[in-house]
Chains A and B, each alone.
Chain A
Amino acid sequence: MNDLNRAFAEAFGLIGALDAKLVEIVTLSLEVSVAAVAFAAVAGFPLGAALAVGRFRGRGSIIVLLNALMGLPPVVVGLVVYLLLSRAGPLGEFGILFTPAAMVIAQAVLVTPIIAALSRQTIEDAWREYEEQLRSLGAKRLNAAFTLLWDTRFSLITVMLAGFGRAAAEVGAVMIVGGNIDGVTRVMTTAIALETSKGDLPLALGLGIILVGLVIMVNAAANLIREAALRRYG
């Protein structure tokens, strides 16, 4: 009990003092996850819109697959990206294994199915409401897809933030492809895992508190945006 109290006190001390090591780790975490979500959104939104509005063979199977991929285990993603980026792998010549770039790739792979699947659901619901109106106005499916992406923009922000939460919280993928190298590829989750095993509980706990706080803040922000948008745009 005493240990725990001391750990908490020291953790808040580190946070309060903006401990340099802590700040570095948190910053890298944010950079990696934000970049990963940005790439995942660029790929996932069009994919989601196409699946929502399009009618083509294999659509149903792709949706089932995508929904399943939402639960993709991070370590498996890490392993596959590792194999691709390792020296002998097809993308080995880029030499980006154990760099933040590799972590961005791994998290983007992890998050893209989430963004695609959730945006597919959101856009398809909207399509049901809008379809006849849009077709009446002469919209082809491609027009409709863009229109719906824009009209569901506030819900899609929530989708993106869900993706961010997943990226920031996963540990398996970044551990494998980043290597948890101090000062280079060490992010919050991998640092927590390491420091806990080393017994540096205050740092681990401080990072844990920040991580949980971030996830809560991101979700609160998502809610605020949605509610403000609903009030403003109906």
Chain B
Amino acid sequence: MLPLELRDVSFAINGRTLIDHVSVEIGAGPRTVILGPNGAGKSVLMRLCHGLLPASAGRIIWRGAGSADGSRQAMVFQRPVMLRRSALANVVYGLKLAGVSRAERELRAADVLDAVDLSAVSGRPARVLSGGEQQRLALARAWALNPEVLFLDEPTANLDPNATRDVESIINQICAGGTKIIMSTHNLGQARRLGDEILFLSHGRLVERSPVEQFFKQPASAEAAAFIRAELPWN
């Protein structure tokens, strides 16, 4: 279904413009990282792309072949919501909505929980898992759907370095399976490790789009340069 094209997309609510005339084409392949200060509109932009919010102006088009409706996509939210049932049942739930047969659901869910190293807690209620475990479960729930595009909104916010490393390794595996990653982060080290290209957002505007190395070495915009300086030191 990729590439995804945003044609002059704006989003306003209560008279405030949160996304301001963004035009961009996001293709298969390179991992896209959205950077920008708090409130820049990263989450709103991803929710627009994912189809959770209607654009106020402009168009969002999945231009590629297959799933022209953009149905083969998944999203892991900044604050994932777990259902009051077991970790396994949370994954099975997503598969059920996706129309996967009953017999296959359990198998796939068990597999993917194994892949994120949650087999040992698969029977536990999802909401009592630790933050790191819940984040991995959220990734597993999305991964099980085998999406063509996966949106990740700050997948390691509030995680410690170990948990962050686990999540990054899972994201790499998902990516290796051919899923296009579009993610936001405040961790510039992570942006470098996981990203191939950067979309830099500020006040709802797309200020800059660059390959990751270039973005950090020679940001094209003064705003991005100031942002990188302010977020230093990082590693």
List A residues at the B interface (Cβ < 8 Å): 129-130, 132-139, 143, 147, 150-151, 153, 232-234
Contact = CB atoms under 8 A, between A and B. Distances in A.
Nearest to B98: A138
A129 B79 CA distance: 10
Given A143-B97, A234-B125, A234-B127, A135 B52 contact: yes
Interface residues of B, number: 22
Contact of B75 (A136, A150, A233): A136
B128 A234 contact: yes
Contact of B128 (A134, A153, A233): A233
A151 B84 contact: yes
A133 B128 contact: no
B77 interface: yes
Contacts of A129: 81
B47 A132 contact: yes
B212 interface: no
Q: Top 10 closest A-B pairs, CB basis?
A: A234-B127, A133-B81, A234-B128, A138-B97, A233-B125, A233-B84, A151-B84, A137-B94, A136-B75, A137-B97
Interface in B102-149: 125-128, 141
B27 interface: no
Which one of B71, B84, B85, B97 has the greatest number of beta carbons of chain A within 10 Å?
Answer: B84
Chain B interface secondary structure, helix, strand, loop or mixed? mixed
Contacts, number: 50
Contact of A136 (B52, B82, B127, B128): B52
Contacts of B74: 136-137
5 contacts: A132-B81, A143-B97, A147-B83, A234-B82, A234-B125
A214 to B, nearest CB: 29
Contacts of A153: 84
A201 B217 CA distance: 91
Nearest to A232: B125
Nearest to B128: A234
Contacts of B82: 234
B227 interface: no
